[in-house]
Structure 1
Amino acid sequence: MAVSFIRVDDRIIHGQIVTRWARERKCDGIIAVDDKTAKNKILKSVVKNAAPPGIKAGVFTVEQALPKLKKASQVKENYFLIVKTPTTLVSLLENGCDFIKKINIGPISSKEGAENVGPNAALTKEEIKACEYFYEQGITIIFKLVPNSKPYTWKDIRKKYI
């Protein structure tokens, strides 16, 4: 599969992605998807330029990402798909990104109306519904900040939140 790693991370492309995950898993390019970031020229440039040398990176809206992801899922290179929120992944899944089978959830900062579901992971009611939607679709959800950290799964914690 050419989209080799799918991650929810509210910082999108940053040090952990660049220094830890891209070393742990083969990464030829990063497809970052977040409507607000993609529409802000300065923020888009900052996020895109956080990718390490030699790794292609692009920041797209959901609409822009769909054809890119279709193409990426059919090539030999390995791409990371990174989204800012679980709800963005719901949009991608509902629009044909059927290659999503396993999701890594990294840091999601605390915000108003969010509930801490684990270390560095605070989900709103809408994001909890998104995780449950993935679970119902048979998609594995693993909360793991960095490759060597202890993981936990949505399957293990979901009953506390639904």
Structure 2
Amino acid sequence: MPLELLRIDERLIHGQVLVGWGSPLDLDFYIVVDEALASSEWEQELWASALADEESAEFVGVDEAARRFGELDSREGRGALLTRDTATMRALAERGCLDGRSVNVGGLYAAKGRKRILDYVHLSPEEIGDLRVIGERAAVCARSLPTAPEVRIDASRLG
């Protein structure tokens, strides 16, 4: 199972994911599920510019990710699937892609309408609803880095 990390993070491909997660997990590729990025070649180049030469990124929309999930999950090497929001990960959960998996939540920061769950996880009522749906199919946890303690994001934490 090469998709070692399924993560919701507004920042998508950035230092914490590449160095903090990618190095310890020995990741070779990143699948970014984002409708806007899937259709913007120049933005894809910009996001992928942070990758090392031996790493790759693929940008797909939700429908394509769901249709190709088996292929993406059986790809040679080790990878991460990233979404910038809970709604996108929820869409993958509703299509059965996350069954029995674990979803990492991190890098959702303070904004109007969001409440603090952890220092690095702030959620709106809609995002809380998304995580509840995801939680019916997958374990939902928060962890800033692989070496940090895992914090379960369940009904008791979501309120």
Q: State the TM-score, normalizing by the size of structure 2.
A: 0.88
Contact 1:6 1:100 in 2 (8 A): no
The SS at the match of 2:10 is coil
Is the aligned partner of 1:47 residue 2:44?
no
- 103-112 vs 44-53, which deviates more? 44-53
Change (3 A) 1:50 1:69: farther
Which residue matches 2:153? 154
Residue type at the aligned position of 1:129? G
Residue type at the aligned position of 2:91? S
Distance 1:100 1:10 in 2: 24
Residue type at the aligned position of 2:156? K
Distance 2:26 2:99 in 1: 18
- How many angstroms does 1:89 deviate by? 1.0
The SS at the match of 1:70 is helix
Change (3 A) 1:45 1:68: farther
Identity rate of aligned residues, in percent? 21
Change (3 A) 1:95 1:59: same
Contact 1:73 1:99 in 2 (8 A): no
- How many angstroms does 1:87 deviate by? 1.4
- 113-122 vs 72-81, which deviates more? 72-81
- How many angstroms does 1:160 deviate by? 4.8
Contact 1:93 1:100 in 2 (8 A): no
Within 5 Å, give how 1:1-162 maps onto structure 2: 1-99=1-99, 101-137=101-137, 139-155=138-154, 158-162=155-159
Residue type at the aligned position of 1:147? P
The SS at the match of 1:6 is strand
- How many angstroms does 1:84 deviate by? 0.6
Contact 2:93 2:134 in 1 (8 A): no
Change (3 A) 1:131 1:95: same
The SS at the match of 1:18 is helix
TM-superposition CA deviations, 1:5-44 (whole Å, max 9, x none)? 1111100000011112111113121101111233344333
Which stretches in structure 1 are left out of the alignment for 5+ residues? none
- 74-83 vs 92-101, which deviates more? 92-101
Contact 1:48 1:59 in 2 (8 A): no
Q: May I ask how many residue pairs the two structures share in their alignment?
A: 159
Q: State the TM-score, normalizing by the size of structure 1.
A: 0.86
- How many angstroms does 1:88 deviate by? 0.6
